[in-house]
Amino acid sequence: MNIVTRFLISLLVNHCLIAQLDLNNQNNIDPLSETPLFSIPSEMTFEEYKDMNRRFNIAIAWSAIPIPGITHYYAGEKKMAKRLLYMGLGGIASIIIGGSMNGEPSWPDTTNSEIRDLYAIYNLGTDDEEWYEKIPVSIENNQTSYKLEKINKESDNAGGLFIAAGIIILAGDFIYDRLWGLKKIEEKRDRVRYKYGKKIKMSFTPKIGFQNGHLGLSLNSNFNIKI
């Protein structure tokens, strides 16, 4: 086979590959349009067909919805999705319980006169009541100068542990669902494609000849799936 023939074959193969890529891009322009119908192996189950066609862009769109377990749900892992949903609801319940345990915000207890002297209070008993903590900065002639630092009402934070636990549960739930859910989609797609991809036999048959006094070159591609 001379150099010209090899060049023509290489050029034709590249042209076929580029044409196929353009066709794939055209098919994926509108994700809302119907998917073209292709022949599938007779032994492929419906679950395998769904696994092979799960899309990452749709999975990421589902993952943007703040529902625990939704990524695993799209991945077809219904049991794990249900577990993650219940765990997420448990985290939300823990936050609600913790919030209900916290008392109403209030000013510090100043019934003790020594504690009372640590604060400067303005507009006492009004809606504009303000409290400042006295912070010593200097002492001159037995007179202490203070810097005033404004403080706000505080609750007793009795439910702080429940709130922290709920936040940790929710964060862990979402991270696990998103990362491992996307990984599960990739594993399922690869498993199906590997299983049936091994059965595809592909071959090229180059044909060179003269037609109407000109050199002609054609390349036939043959696909064979063994079931």
**What's the angle, vertex CA 81, arms to CA 78 and CA 84, rounded to 5?**
155
The model's pTM: 0.55
- Name residues whose C-beta falls within 8 Å of residue 137's C-beta, 6 or more positions apart in sequence: 145, 146, 147
Question: Which run of H or of E encompasses 151?
Answer: strand 143-151
In angstroms, how far is CA 70 from the centroid of its own chain? 10
- Name residues whose C-beta falls within 8 Å of residue 169's C-beta, 6 or more positions apart in sequence: 87, 88, 90, 91, 94
**Angstrom distances, CA of residue 21 to CA of 11, 25, 156:** 16, 6, 64
**Tens place of pLDDT per residue across the chain (227 aa):** 555 455 455 555 555 554 555 555 545 545 445 556 667 777 888 888 888 888 888 888 888 888 899 999 989 899 999 999 999 999 999 999 988 887 677 777 776 666 677 778 788 777 788 888 878 888 787 777 888 888 887 776 777 888 899 999 999 999 999 999 899 988 988 888 888 877 766 555 555 555 565 555 555 555 454 44
**What's the angle, vertex CA 121, arms to CA 120 and CA 127, rounded to 5?**
155
* Domain limits, the chain: 41-102+160-225, 113-151
